[in-house]
Amino acid sequence: MLIDFFYTLRAAKLPVSVKEFLALLEALKAGVVGPLSSDAWSLDDFYHLARTVLVKDEKHYDKFDRAFAAYFHGVELLADFSKKIPADWLRQMLERELTPEQKAAIQKLGWDELMQTLKKRLEEQKERHEGGSKWIGTGGTSPFGHGGYNPQGVRIGGAGKNRSAVKVWEQRAYRDYDDTQELGTRNIKVALRRLRKFAREGNELELDLPDTIRSTAANAGWLDIKMVPERHNNVKVLLLMDVGGTMDEHVQRVEELFSAVKAEMKHLEFYYFHNCVYDYLWKNNRRRFAEKFPTWDIIRKYNKDYKLIFVGDATMSPYEILQPGGSVEYNNEEAGAEWLQRLTNAFPKFVWINPEPQGVWQYRQSIAIVQQLMGQRMFALTLKGLEDAMRMLSK
């Protein structure tokens, strides 16, 4: 079984060697997580052991997780028939399919009323609730919980289904964009090259042929070699990327863009945010709660000659942009719009690149708000959109 697991990891392009695989087998043989036939042995134990032995760089954790999940999907359940059927499987049967008329009849609460009602429900509710229109639970039409339908509510746990939540109460894990993603086309790189600005800096390493000829001629034919510094792309880019949530649908395209930017721009700084920029950003999604970078520090750290590029679908509740406390992650003291304006004031050369199809922009209120805050400098993640964005940054 583990031989096939090894080949699965290799197929996922993980740099796992035979020596590391043999070390894993030795660890299992030595009983590090208990023998495979033991009742005490669990798939979680094996997962942590395998990741420790086989993965040597954190950037490969996500690839390992996906390969592990694909290979061992359902193994624990099959190995122990005494376990109960997962509640998520049963819950799928309980989700309501409402008619358009029923959905239109559900009342939408305002922001203040929504928060006050949630606080009241938390104080009153004493047990789990399934279905219904009032309590915090799953299914039904309550504005609190998950798995049901409400045009505007607070999702507590679970997975997004209708994209109508204005706040999400859970700690979610995002993954870093893979900057080694191979591009499907070179045209993205070609579009980004419109932004390049070459300058000669550093040591004199290249032959200046015109000056050498001129100096040699002026020196009566005596060779006079002239050297100049190499030409390098002198453009500085500050890249802020939305990650998680609705951006999961655009991971491949954003990774292609990220790869191209890293390849073309020598002076690149990048950070992540979720939905909208607030008072802090992060560089590593696995440590985003432990390693925060205050947005004020970023504004002060980089000069205004940096080109600021936002990458995000701008698809969220309008409250997340306009309302203090509107973030789905935490209660932000200042609205996201305030931080967007501070960033665009600090870096006069800025654009927003949106991976959502341009045809749906007019139907998303949040996109219209971000477009206004960006001074209409929002461009689609297409070749034409990238060319127009680079042309705007080059002005």
Q: Domain ranges for the chain, please list them.
A: 2-79, 104-169, 187-194+235-394, 198-232
The string of DSSP codes covering 248-282 is GGGHHHHHHHHHHHHHH-SEEEEEEEBSB--SEEB
Cα 332-338-339 angle, rounded to 5 deg: 75
Identity (one letter) of the amino acid at 193? R
Indicate the pLDDT class of residue 200, thresholds 50, 70 and 90.
very low
* Average per-residue pLDDT for the chain: 76
Classify domain 187-194+235-394 by CATH number. 3.40.50
> Which residues in 323-342 are b (16+ Cβ under 10 Å) and which e?
beebbbbeebeebbbbbbee
Of residues 30 and 170, more confidence is placed in 30
- Cβ atoms of residues 354 and 310 within 8 Å: no
> How is residue 323 written in tokens?
């309302």
**Does residue 11 have a pLDDT over 70?**
yes
pLDDT recorded at residue 40: 52
Give the per-residue pLDDT at 221: 83
pLDDT band at residue 211 using 50, 70 and 90 as cut-offs: confident
Average pLDDT (263-280) is 90
32 — pLDDT class (breaks 50, 70, 90):
confident
Q: Between 231 and 348, name the one with better pLDDT.
A: 348
Q: Are 368 and 392 in contact (CB under 8 A)?
A: no
* H runs (alpha helix) in the chain: 2-11, 18-29, 43-54, 61-72, 75-79, 87-94, 100-105, 111-124, 187-192, 209-218, 251-264, 295-301, 318-322, 336-346, 365-373, 383-394
Contact 98, 141 (CB under 8 A): yes
Cβ contacts of 297 within 8 Å, gap of 6 or more? none
Per-residue pLDDT band at 369 (split at 50, 70, 90)? very high
**How many angstroms separate the CA atoms of 329 and 385, rounded?**
30
- 4 φ/ψ sector (left φ>0, alpha ψ -120 to 50, else beta): alpha
366 or 36, higher pLDDT: 366
Q: Where residue 29 falls among pLDDT bands split at 50, 70, 90?
A: confident
Phi, psi of 145 (to 5 degrees): 120, -150
| Residue 356 reports pLDDT greater than 70 | yes
Query: What confidence score (pLDDT) does residue 90 get?
Result: 45
Reduce the DSSP state of residue 352 to 3 states and report it: strand
User: Given this model, what pLDDT does residue 254 score?
Assistant: 87
Helix (H) or strand (E) segment spanning residue 138: strand 137-138
